[in-house]
Amino acid sequence: MTASAPAPDYAWIEQLPKVSLHDHLDGGVHPQTIVDIAAEIGHALPAQNADDLKAWFEDNANSRSLASYLETFKHTLAVMQRREDLVRIAGEHALELAFDGVLYGEVRWAPELHTAGGLSMEEAVEAVAEGFAQGAAMASQRLRKPVMVRQILCAMRQNNNSLAVAQLAVANRALGVVGFDIAGPEKEFSLQNHREALDYATQHFLPVTLHAGEAASLDSIQEAVIDGRALRLGHGVQITDDITITTLGEANPEAVTEDVDADQEVMKLGNLAAWIKDRQITLEICPCSNLQTDAAALLTDIGRLPLEQQKRARDYASHPVAMLYRSGFAVTISPDNRLMSSTSVTTEFIKLHENFGFDWPDFFQLTLNAVDGSFMPVDQKHSLRGILQDYYSTFAQAQEDLPEESA
């Protein structure tokens, strides 16, 4: 028996200042909170204690069945129908962001799914705002971890409430609502059903991010950025369908000289992928979640096989996140559903480090990308960039100051 190597110390990644842009409130409830509230309201759960419930959520989210995945949300939504429960869960979410090192987070949720207990959508928005304020105050006063939390209101693709949700979002900027999203079954329901809501948001200067390129491909992404005027894409990971891998000799024969290898591989972008990259439309990439829902194509198949023959990425190392980032797309990293995917921005960063060798300059860049793509006012972006710059300068200096052997 050999002694196992000590677990790597990732405290430095935990401590990095972060920004989270794609973070579902109903996907990040603490198991113990679900157990507590379910007991109070008489909601039957598939497991009776927090540990078993956490395992149940992970199993169902990992089952590769969309029905099982969606089943998990029934239980989180069931305990998010009373005002006091929304306040509690929003407060805990803000604290969770602070523990994750997040300085600024945009947390999304769908008010129309929180009215079963008699709350109006407006009352639900107020409750979530109150919870975020309480959680942020506790994080900064008790933990010395300041966090700013904002709301993105989602409408559901399969329902007909999108205009009311867009109006609610515009009317509640003072409560910290900064954006509008449309979530839900992407393949089955077109954004065309939500024209009025998308027009309303744009006409009232409310920034829009749309779930697209997660369960469907290029048509859906194009619809989101062209018709939906989305400034960001919720996932957008299927943009890889518009990428082909070819040789330099084929793509650009004039660049081939005696010293330049004609057979070296180059990436060729279709018009849509070039638009997304060149306009730096933010991709809210959530690798752990993508692996659970088969959202991402297998890295080694992308651009080399016809689309219908490309397999899906099933492990972190075959997710195209590093390829998209290194080829200049505006990639940002988010957890999507902290509970179902058992993840956080910290966890994603650790996996990026372990699987793709990402290091602090990459985490700095990914976080700057998230600041740029965020829906905060530009003056606030400027000051957050300053905070990040200071942190990373000090961090880089400390790396240089380390003695050689431990650096």
Residues forming contacts to Zn ion in the complex (CB under 5 A) are 336
Q: What minimum distance in Å lies between the beta carbon of 267 and Zn ion? A: 27
289 versus 318: smaller Cβ distance to Zn ion: 289
Shorter beta-carbon distance to Zn ion: residue 109 or 316: 109
Q: How far apart are CA 236 and CA 211, in angstroms?
A: 8
Nearer to Zn ion, 336 or 348 (CB): 336
CA distances from 9 to 2, 14, 15, 256, 366 (A): 20, 10, 12, 45, 21
The closest residue (CB) to Zn ion is 336
Long-range own/partner contacts, residues 399-404 (CB < 8 A, 24 or more apart) = 399/360
CB of 197 to Zn ion, least distance (A): 18
Active-site annotation holds for 214: yes
Place of tokens 């860049």: 365
Query: What are the tokens at 259?
Result: 């010293």
Token output for 308: 């219908």
Please tell me which residue in 96, 112, 186, 214 is annotated as part of the active site: 214
Of 107 and 388, nearer to Zn ion (C-beta) is 107
Q: Please, what is the minimum distance in Å from the beta carbon of residue 303 to Zn ion? A: 26
- Do β-strands 243-247 and 265-269 pair in parallel, antiparallel, or remain unpaired? antiparallel
CB contact burial 124-158 (16+ within 10 A = b; e otherwise): bbbbbbbbbbbbbebbeeeeebebbbbbbbbbbbe
Nearest to Zn ion of 139, 216 (CB atom) = 216
Cβ burial of 211 (10 Å; 0-12, 13-18, 19+) is: buried
Kindly report the number of other CB atoms within 10 A of residue 259's CB atom.
Answer: 5
Output the DSSP codes for 132-147. Answer: HHHHHHHHHHHS----
Beta-bridge mates of residue 108: 24, 152
Residues tagged active-site: 214
